[in-house]
Amino acid sequence: MTEEHDHSGNPPQPDEDRLAATEFEILERALRELLIEKGVFTADDIRIAVEAMDRKDPANGSKVVAHAWVDDAYRARLLDDSKAAIEELGIDVGPAPNLVVLENTATLQHVVVCTLCSCYPRTLLGMPPSWYKSREYRGRVVVEPRAVLREFGTELADDVEIKVVDSTADMRYLVLPARPDGTDGLSEAELADLVTRDSLIGVTQPNAPSGG
């Protein structure tokens, strides 16, 4: 995908999405029970994996962005070899899939979508929000990105290019948003507090500093 658009923060869930989710849940349950029965893994293995995933949150992604904002050399490494640079901060992104960090500028806004399902850098952002998985977002963001971003409250000038990138099973994307104005005196930890999950997906901008 080369064009992108976004979607409102809490879009309505179509009835077909609810039905599809139910179907997927039934299939997942049947497959899980079969694999446990065959001894491929145990119920405990699943519980441990789910608990580990639930402990992940967007703080890892926020930490990466804040460090890139204050360290130009790190930012260059992050854009050149994203996984290696992220691992410098002690964050394990796992052996696969590939991960690419895309930088937003004053004239370019990246937005991430998975048009097939909900591929997403969970080690950096935690569990994907429901709107990211919805058919409405997946379908609309690639054809009317500016309208979708507007629903999230993100108004972009006409001369800002919006580029939609399609996350896949083999490739994940993380957006490096532009640093907000008025943040020169903030610490790295304070900068990280301005970075939201949605800004790391590209549908919003980071929060403005208090009083900004």
Q: Give all domains of the chain, ordered by start, each with its CATH number.
A: 57-201 (3.90.330.10)
Low-confidence stretches of the chain (pLDDT < 50) are 1-20, 55, 212
pLDDT value, residue 26: 79
Cβ atoms 151, 10 nearer than 8 A: no
The predicted-structure confidence for 125-145, as pLDDT tens digits, reads as follows: 988 889 999 999 999 999 999
Read off the pTM. 0.75
pLDDT value for 2: 38
Burial class (CB in 10 A: 0-12, 13-18, 19+), 34: exposed
Q: Which positions are catalytic?
A: 114, 117-119
Q: What is the structure's pLDDT at 1?
A: 42
- The per-residue DSSP string of 116-128 comes to SS----HHHH-SP
- pLDDT at residue number 23: 67
107-126 per-position pLDDT tens digit: 999 999 999 988 989 889 98
